[in-house]
Amino acid sequence: MNSPGENSSRRWRLVLGAAAEPELGGLGGADDVAVDRALGALYNTGDEPTSGKRSAGLGDSAPRVARWLGDIRTYFPSSVVEVMQRDAIDRLQLTELLLEPELLAAVEPDVHLVGTLLSLNRVMPETTKATARTVVERVVREIEQRIATHTRTAVSGALNRAARISRPRARDIDWDRTIRKNLANYLPEHRTVVPERLVGYGRNTQAVRRDVVLAIDQSGSMAASVVYASVFGAVLASMRALRTSLVVFDTEVVDLTDLLTDPVDVLFGTQLGGGTDINRALAYCQTLIARPADTLFVLISDLYEGGIRAEMLRRVHAMRESGVQVVVLLALSDDGAPAFDHDNAAALAALGVPAFACTPDRFPDLLAVALDRGDVRSWADVNAGKP
C-alpha cells in the first residue's frame, strides 16, 4: 500500500508527464504506465522527458485512435472519458476520423459528440450515417429518461393551476389560493375563514390550453443547447394540452415541428454552424402565433445578431405588447456560464425580457413558472445557471 506522499507524487507525475520524472520518480505498475501512455498521447510532449515541444500523439491512424479510445475507457470514469474525447477532437483534429464507422462505434457518446456529428451531417458518408444515428439516438434516449417525467409533471401542474375554475369539485379545490382569496372573510371569534369563492384546478386535458414556440439558434456555439432543446420540444409535443412548434435558425429559418414525434429526426434536420439572423427567425415565429395571450415563446440564443438588431428588438417588444410571454435563454446546457452578447441581453432586459442561462434539469421548473404566468425574472434571479 502506497503512503500518502507516494500517492501524491504518483498523481503529480501522471499530471505533469515524463518531464517530471527526474523530480518525482518513475511509475510502478503496468496500469500506471498504460494510464500515462493514454494521457501522454493527448496532452504530453513526446517520448523524451526533456522535450519542450508539444505534438499530437495519436497520429492519423484510425486503428490507433480506436485502441486509444479503448484504453481511456478502461482506465478512466465515463465523465473523464468524455472530456478527453472532446479534447482529442479539438486538439488533434480528429473530426474527419469520426466519419469512419469503426472509430465512431468505439467512442463514448455524449452531448458534445452529438453536436460534432450533427455539424458533420452534410458531409457524412452513407456508410457512417447509420452508426452516427445510433450514437445520437443513445444520447437522446438518455436525456429523455433524465428530463421527461419531471417536465410532464411540472408542465401538467402549471396548466392545471392556470385552468382554475370557480365551482370546483371537492377534490379539485386549491385550498391555498381559496384561503388567500377569502382572507377578508376571516371570522376571529371562530378562528376560521368563510369562503365566498372557491378556487380550483381545471382537469380537461383534452383541450389545447397553451401554445409553445421554441426558436433555437443553431450556430456552432449552441450545439449542446440544440440537443437539449430538441428533446424538450419532443416531450412538450407529446402533451395534448400544448400546441408545440420548434424552429431552428442560423441565417435561414427551418420549421421542424412536423418532426417532433422523434427528437433524433429533429436533430438530423438541423445544420450546426454558420451565421445568425435572429430577426429573421422572430419574423417567422410571429406568423405561428395565433393566440398571443396563450402563447409562450422561448428563444434560445447567445444573441450574437447578424441581422437587423433594431428590428429584432422591435419584434420582441411587439410580441410582449400583444400578450405573448417571452423567455430568452442564453444557453440550455450543463456547460457553465455561456459567452453571449451583453448589449443585446441588456436591451432585452430593458424591454422586460430577462436573458439568462438555464440547465436542462432546471428547465421544467422554468416552464412551469412561465406557463403559470409567474414571475420569470424573479425565478431567474434565484435559479439561473444552477445545476
| Cα 105 to Cα 83: distance, rounded to the nearest angstrom | 17
Strands 186-187 and 192-193: antiparallel
Q: Is 152 inside a domain boundary?
A: yes
H or E element in which residue 246 lies: strand 242-249
Please report which residue ranges of 55-125 form alpha helices under DSSP H. Answer: 62-75, 78-91, 101-105, 111-119
Domain that residue 171 falls in: 164-201
323 and 265 together in one domain: yes
Is 7 domain-assigned? no
Q: What angle do CA 383, 386, 387 make, to 5 degrees?
A: 135
Q: Tell me: do 245 and 378 sit in the same domain.
A: yes
194, 254: one domain: no
Cβ burial 354-364 (10 Å sphere, 16+ → b, else e):
bbbbbbbebbb
What stretches of 106-125 show up as alpha helix (H) in DSSP?
A: 111-119
| Nearest by Cα to 294 from 198, 215, 373 | 373
> What pTM was computed for the model?
0.73
Best CA proximity match to 222, nearest among 94, 119, 73: 119
Together in a domain, 352 and 218:
yes
Instruction: Verify that 248 and 170 share a domain, yes or no.
Output: no
Are 285 and 365 within one domain?
A: yes
Whether the pLDDT of residue 52 is over 60: the answer is no
- Determine the Cα–Cα distance for residues 371 and 173; give it in Å rounded to an integer: 20
Identify whether the C-beta of residue 335 lies closer than 8 Å to the C-beta of residue 227. Answer: no
Q: Are residues 230 and 365 in the same domain?
A: yes
**Residue 256 and residue 187 share a domain:** no
190 and 277 in a single domain? The answer is no
Examine the domain organization and report whether 240 and 359 are in the same domain: yes
In total, how many domains does the chain have?
2
| Residues 283, 154 share a domain | yes
pLDDT tens digits, one per residue of 200-256: 655 544 567 899 999 999 987 898 999 999 999 999 999 999 999 999 999 999 999
Whether 346 is covered by a domain: the verdict is yes
Note the pLDDT of residue 55. 44
pLDDT tens for residues 143-178? 999 999 999 999 988 887 665 555 566 666 777 777
Residue 132 falls within a domain, yes or no?
A: no
